[in-house]
Amino acid sequence: MQRYTKTAMLLHWLSAGLIVAAFSMGLVMVDIPGITPTKLKYYSWHKWMGVTVLALAAVRLLWRKANTPPPHPPGMPAWQVKAADATHVLLYVLIFAVPLSGYLYTTAANVPVVYLGLFQIPALFEGSPELKALFKPVHYWLNMLLLAAVLAHVGAALKHHFIDRDDVLKRMLP
């Protein structure tokens, strides 16, 4: 069995954990009524996770370009290979697009992003109610698309493991 590199596994699982945490935090924080210290703290943590996911996405993409992933299992139908490749491309696009859309939404809302409370990420433009109204649903729907893509990805990995009984899932497990 050809496996992913330990670095690829680390980046994959770290990104996955942060994406799940940021998504969950996003669901919780928007349901907190009013402006409270807890809500503000959750928004900060959510942004920090988003910035970290974006940085990890860049590292992952560079790592993947330099380290060819293992081939698909022999005998895997061509349509599944195309679906797997398309899903991976979509996941990479979304792990860039979701945090970027969140940054654009935050910037449009005229709220700074202060990473880990240490340094402010520069705003690309002035706050704008019109852009805020545009980027809010963009960020939401990109997250919903990411959720669907992640569920398809996990579902396919579980199908390969429990139904096809091949090594697709095992090659990403430490």
Rounded distance between C-alpha atoms, residue 105 and residue 79, angstroms: 37
Element (H, E) at 152: helix 129-159
Structure tokens at 5: 């590199």
Rounded distance between C-alpha atoms, residue 115 and residue 125, angstroms: 18
C-alpha distances out from residue 150 to 16, 55, 121, 147, Å: 9, 19, 28, 5
Kindly list the structural domains of the chain, giving each domain's residue range(s) and its CATH number in brackets, ordered by start.
Answer: 6-172 (1.20.950)
pLDDT 10s digits, 135-173: 999 999 999 999 999 999 999 999 999 999 999 999 999
C-alpha distances out from residue 121 to 34, 51, 93, 158, Å: 26, 9, 22, 39
Mean pLDDT for each consecutive 10-residue tract of the chain (174 residues)?
A: 95 98 97 96 97 98 96 94 97 98 98 96 97 98 98 98 95 96
The model carries a pTM of 0.95
